[in-house]
Copies of this chain bind each other. A is one copy, B any other.
Amino acid sequence: MGAQNPYKAAGIRTRRATMNDVAAQANVSLKTVSRVVNGDAGVVEETRLRVLDAIARLGFRRNDSARQLRTGRTAEIGLLVEDVADPFYSTVTRAVEQVAAGNDCLLFTSSCDDDPVRERKLALTLCSRRVDGLLIVTAAPDHAYLASELAAGLPVVFVDRPPVNLDADAVLTDNVGGARSGIRHLIAGGHRRIGFLGDDPDVFTAQQRLLGYRQEMAAHGLPVDESWIAAGEPAPGRLRHNVERLRVELDRLLGGPAAVTALFTGNNRITTQVLREFGRREDSDRGTLRRPALVGFDDFEFADLVTPGVTVVAQDPAGLGRTAATLLFQRLAGLAGPARQVVLPTRLIVRGSGEQPPPD
């Protein structure tokens, strides 16, 4: 508890003790220090204690940059997502973290905001850092730039969205099947006019979910009016980011004589924004508004807390992260062979909003 300022001025970064310093202090060789630090066998207890004492006295801490340079392995992996603050991605991140920790690996995380340029820059920076592996929820339209890294032996696993122009592992959700199960549920409930509120098809998952919608409608011989589909536009026009735009589309789908009786929302952010809109309308309409049936893709923490509960096609973000990270470490452990594609199933969770029957 000295009265010293704890924070040094610029550049006054004290030189840290090295193994050499410890060796001198303990009167042993550098190599013996290395053995003690790494817990290698073959050091007699007395020597070990002397070294440990010197380490404590000098405040020595092994410099992993040097170790990494020598061994070629960093015991670090990187994870790129769209936005860690999004519950979907934070859950993926947490699962990846856990697998990484189980393999004594540290994790770099970065949010790319669906910006391909940023994604590429970050991925390559991580390559320069010589991470042992890379996990990517990609927004880029092309991944050929990673080919040389893959060829150099870097395992890369794509999460939630597959790679383009690159032969690499991917762990995905069954987006088509999931969307179909949601639409099937609405059709079984008597709905024929079902609206789709999703993101632009630039986003792989959005495109797949829209495909599932079309497939299931077709499978039941139901025509689809293109006006029932609101898929937003790229980047700033994405419905999940653009509340104004979503409001306009919702008005369009629910208003007029061609109004839909049910809504399928393509991701958790659109679902919650739609709920917010419903709430707002009911406040002003004083209960005259009849909510359409609603099924959302992706579960969310409060889906059971609102009234009615929100029926969803649940994904398994933790499973996505866990599976992808596990595959990555299998690759690191030597698993050879062609790129794998793992597809995780979805699960329909019935809570009330999707069971609202059509009017009349």
Whether A107 lies near B106 (C-beta < 8 A) is no
14 further A-B pairs in the complex, CB-CB below 8 A; given A14-B153, A94-B111, A272-B301: A7-B155, A7-B335, A9-B336, A10-B333, A61-B128, A76-B129, A84-B97, A85-B91, A93-B109, A106-B126, A107-B110, A272-B302, A305-B306, A307-B307
Say yes or no for A39: interface residue by CB 8 A criterion.
Answer: no
Could you tell me the distance between the alpha carbons of A306 and B150 in the complex, rounded to whole angstroms? Answer: 48
Known: A6-B167, A153-B8, A302-B302. A94 touches B84 (CB 8 A): yes
Q: Which of B110, B272, B337 contacts A7 (CB 8 A)?
A: B337
What chain B residues lie within 8 Å of A94 (beta carbons)?
83-85, 111
Say yes or no for A256: interface residue by CB 8 A criterion.
Answer: no
A105-161 contacts to B (CB < 8 Å)? 106-111, 124-130, 148-153, 155
Residues of A within 8 A of B (CB): 1, 5-14, 16, 59, 61-66, 68-69, 72, 74, 76, 83-87, 90-91, 93-94, 97, 101, 106-111, 124-130, 148-153, 155, 167-169, 272, 275-276, 279, 301-302, 304-307, 331, 333-339
Q: Which of B8, B106, B110, B338 contacts A101 (CB 8 A)?
A: B110
Whether B72 lies near A69 (C-beta < 8 A) is no
Stoichiometry (number of copies): 2
What chain B residues lie within 8 Å of A65 (beta carbons)?
65, 68-69, 74, 129-130
Known: A85-B93, A107-B109, A307-B307. A9 touches B334 (CB 8 A): yes
Could you tell me the distance between the alpha carbons of A91 and B93 in the complex, rounded to whole angstroms? Answer: 13
Offer 25 A-B interface pairs, CB within 8 angstroms, sorted by A.
A6-B150, A6-B338, A7-B331, A7-B338, A7-B339, A8-B153, A8-B336, A10-B333, A13-B72, A59-B148, A61-B127, A61-B128, A63-B69, A63-B130, A64-B129, A66-B69, A76-B108, A84-B84, A84-B97, A90-B93, A109-B109, A272-B302, A279-B305, A301-B301, A302-B305
What chain B residues lie within 8 Å of A331 (beta carbons)?
7
Could you tell me the distance between the alpha carbons of A16 and B127 in the complex, rounded to whole angstroms? Answer: 11
What chain B residues lie within 8 Å of A306 (beta carbons)?
302, 305-307
What chain B residues lie within 8 Å of A93 (beta carbons)?
84-85, 90, 109
Could you tell me the distance between the alpha carbons of A259 and B8 in the complex, rounded to whole angstroms? Answer: 55
Could you tell me the distance between the alpha carbons of A69 and B130 in the complex, rounded to whole angstroms? Answer: 14
